[in-house]
Amino acid sequence: MKKETLECIELLKNRFDLVEVSEDNEDTFKGMDMISAMCQVEKHLRNSSLSEGFFEVAEKPLRFISMKMNLTMRQSAVFVLFASECFSSYISIDYIAEKCGCSTIAFLRYLNDIDVLEKRGIICRYEERYYSTRIYRVSQKTINELCGDVLSDNKLENDEKNIIKHEEIIGKELFYDTEIDSQIKKLKQLLDREQYRIVHQRMQEKGVRCGFTCLFYGDPGTGKTESVLQLAKRTGRDILQVNISQIKSMWVGESEKNIKQVFDNYRRKVKDSDITPILLFNEADAIIGKRQEGAERAVDKMENSIQNIILQEMETFDGILIATTNLVQNMDKAFERRFLYKVKFEKPTVEARMSIWQNMLPMLDESDIRILATRYDFSGGQIENIARRHAIDGILNGECAHTLKKLMEHCDNERLEKRERKKVGF
């Protein structure tokens, strides 16, 4: 490559490293989407040597990609180079350099940009050690995001997959300590169809907010999610379950749109349903955590924006929202106020554990049940794991004559922590 071109590329690094998208408005990119922007950039990339002329003619679509993905213009150009060739297979830096008309040596200037794309999960590297050169492909996450951008019209259809019909929920008997049992019964009474209608109507008449927002928090395996399912089953309510991983997008601004869409879809579902469904944020630790003060990184800003939207929606919420979390100590104080009911799920007492053991393994003697419940401080989820493993053993090996001994082996294996081995001294 000519010396002048190399110098030009070096100058471009300073010129295009940061993109000030704040100057742009929606009209600037009206009618543009990721696919069309990438196609426009790709037209100008071939044999461009990534020259200053390329950045000038491709400026608008590059700025759009930069804004959507929070990348520099250099990184956006490199992303399009990879995306135009390596969706299905890995390709080398040599190949990419050849495509844009650079020598491999000249393209090494872009290794830092490639590393950023890799760290962000936009592209992924082939990790076989015997490969002497770096080869990459576009990550599955990026492909999913691009396809989601194209298939955005099908979002309503996809939302149907997140609906749990109450009649499809398998009924289970749950065992709680006295205090939790009292709170769950109160919620069940409130969510009774006729009772809910009366309370909702009277709250409207009084000009009081009509939304019922509940937080189920506590240790894993203590029955938070199952309690939501059984409340829905017993009160005839469907559940619109929020898939938090699907909300978060690598495109700037898309995550915020997605969370707004969740509440819009719920409002539409309430309007179209005879009985108000439940909006469930399961394992909501990722979206109700403490907001980042003075956030600088794009990820932190996006997290704060999502939380602010949820907080605003909860202020005017009209329906039934339940969130579950294991990490209430990390919850932002602003969320604490907005949850009308807060139910703490703790590990069951000995009496509750005995009831769970009896329900899961009714063939056990009361004395065996007491031994297991007393010796092992397990949650309901852990006891269910042991009961399932015992059932599998019975299918594979037949019934065991020493049931208690076998169950105690399963209990010991359920614990991840092992007893420290005694050191042998001389």
pLDDT tier for residue 376 given thresholds of 50, 70 and 90? very high
How many CA within 13 A on the CB side of residue 159? 20
How many CA within 13 A on the CB side of residue 282? 18
pLDDT tier for residue 296 given thresholds of 50, 70 and 90? low
pLDDT tier for residue 334 given thresholds of 50, 70 and 90? confident
pLDDT per position as a tens digit, 45-75: 888 888 888 998 999 999 988 888 888 989 9
Q: What is the 3-state secondary structure (H, E, C) of 248-309?
A: CCCCCCHHHHHHHHHHHHHHHHHHHCCCCCEEEECCCHHHHECCCCCCCCHHHHHHHHHHHH
Give me the pLDDT at residue 16, please.
Answer: 39
Give me the pLDDT at residue 153, please.
Answer: 43
Residue 261 carries which side chain, given as an amino acid letter? Q
Angle at 403 between CA 398 and CA 404, to 5 degrees: 165
Residue 195 carries which side chain, given as an amino acid letter? Q
Q: Domain 3-150 class?
A: mainly alpha
Query: Where are the domains positioned within the chain?
Result: 3-150, 154-345, 350-414
SS3 341: strand
The whole-angstrom separation of Cα 322 and Cα 279 is 6
- Asked if the model's pLDDT at residue 132 lies above 80, the reply is no
**Integer Rg of the chain from CA:** 28
Which residue has better confidence, 155 or 210? Answer: 210
Give me the pLDDT at residue 34, please.
Answer: 85
Give me the pLDDT at residue 231, please.
Answer: 96
CATH topology of domain 154-345: Rossmann fold (3.40.50)
Max mean pLDDT among 14-18, 262-266, 403-407 falls in 262-266
- Asked if the model's pLDDT at residue 6 lies above 60, the reply is no
Contacts 24+ apart (CB under 8 A), 206-212: 209/315, 209/316, 209/317, 209/318, 210/318, 211/314, 211/316, 211/317, 211/318, 211/319, 211/320, 211/321, 211/340, 212/319, 212/320, 212/321, 212/340, 212/341
- Asked if the model's pLDDT at residue 421 lies above 90, the reply is no
Give me the pLDDT at residue 18, please.
Answer: 34
pLDDT tier for residue 266 given thresholds of 50, 70 and 90? very high
Q: What percent of the chain has pLDDT over 70?
A: 82
The DSSP letter of residue 328 is: G
- Asked if the model's pLDDT at residue 330 lies above 90, the reply is no
**CB within 8 A of 31, min separation 6: which ones?**
none
Give me the pLDDT at residue 297, please.
Answer: 67
Q: Both tokens of residue 422? A: 């005694």
Which residue has better confidence, 303 or 223? Answer: 223
The whole-angstrom separation of Cα 368 and Cα 356 is 13
pLDDT tier for residue 93 given thresholds of 50, 70 and 90? confident
If you average pLDDT over residues 224-253, what whole number do you get?
87
- Asked if the model's pLDDT at residue 282 lies above 50, the reply is yes
Give me the pLDDT at residue 199, please.
Answer: 93
If you average pLDDT over residues 343-361, what whole number do you get?
92
Whole-prediction pTM:
0.68
If you average pLDDT over residues 328-336, what whole number do you get?
83
Q: What percent of the chain has pLDDT over 90?
A: 35
pLDDT per position as a tens digit, 171-229: 999 998 888 999 999 999 999 999 999 999 999 888 888 899 999 999 888 999 999 99
Question: How far, in Å, are 39, 45, 121, 139, 250 from residue 124 at the CA level?
Answer: 22, 21, 6, 6, 15
Give me the pLDDT at residue 284, please.
Answer: 87
Residue 9 carries which side chain, given as an amino acid letter? I
Give me the pLDDT at residue 250, please.
Answer: 67
Give me the pLDDT at residue 216, please.
Answer: 95
pLDDT tier for residue 21 given thresholds of 50, 70 and 90? very low
pLDDT tier for residue 2 given thresholds of 50, 70 and 90? very low
Q: Using CA of residue 180, residue 184, residue 185, residue 187, what is the dihedral sign?
A: positive
Give me the pLDDT at residue 167, please.
Answer: 94
Give me the pLDDT at residue 240, please.
Answer: 95
